[in-house]
Amino acid sequence: MGRPPEFDRAKAVQVAMQLFLDRGYESTSIDDLIEALGISRASLYNAFGDKHGLLLEAFCCAELAGCQMRKDVLSQNTSALRAIREYFEELRTNKRSCFFLTLGTELSSADMSVRKRVRDALEQSLEMFRELIVRGQKTGEIPPSVDPSEAAAALLGATTAILTFNKVCSDPQWTTSVIHHALAAVT
């Protein structure tokens, strides 16, 4: 067994996540990783096993961040519609991409562990939207005629569209239109 790693593991995973997000998993070489992480090849292999092990640890990190984000959205002391609007506004103004969407699109057809993680994340996001919709129905701000599961799927579809637009286009009107129509699904 090798020596324990002499680098900040959490920081290394964050750097790798950004590299995978920017370049894609397949286009990121081991040499790219060791240069960006500032560690030796041996340290990378000792710490993570291989490139795929680093990817799976990056997914764990993204899962924790996603869980926290969903908890934050659900715990807002605001109306359900306002929470949904603020969620979409954050996506629109932040202009970030999504680790799950980017890497899931690239890898889920060939990597079942990635597919499961992405599917689980999508299910958790659907559940967040369902909870918000039901909460809004209880307060009367969302009509009872809105089906929570169908509307949650529409909101998730809008989320993936916005995250895709953030990565590939710069026309803010596209995102504004998506948000407008997503909110129409719950009002």
What pLDDT is recorded for position 94? 82
Note if the pTM is more than 0.75: yes
Task: Indicate left, alpha or beta for 70 from its phi (over 0: left) and psi (-120 to 50: alpha).
Answer: alpha
Query: Does residue 132 carry a pLDDT above 60?
Result: yes
Query: Does residue 5 carry a pLDDT above 80?
Result: no
What pLDDT is recorded for position 2? 54
For 94-126, what is each residue's pLDDT tens digit? Answer: 877 888 888 999 999 999 999 999 999 999 999
Question: How do the domains of the chain map onto residue ranges?
Answer: 9-184
Contacts of 7 (CB under 8 A, 6+ apart): 37, 38, 39, 43, 47
Is CATH 3.40.50.970 the classification given to domain 9-184?
no
Three-state SS letters, 56-118: HHHHHHHHHHHHHHHHHHHHCCCCHHHHHHHHHHHHHHHCCCCHHHHHHHHHCCCCHHHHHHH
Query: Does residue 1 carry a pLDDT above 70?
Result: no
Distance CA 97, CA 102 (A): 7
Distance CA 184, CA 178 (A): 10
Task: Indicate left, alpha or beta for 38 from its phi (over 0: left) and psi (-120 to 50: alpha).
Answer: left
For 142-162, what is each residue's pLDDT tens digit? Answer: 999 999 999 999 999 999 999
Asked whether 32 and 38 are in contact (CB, 8 A), the reply is no
What pLDDT is recorded for position 121? 92
Query: Does residue 81 carry a pLDDT above 80?
Result: yes
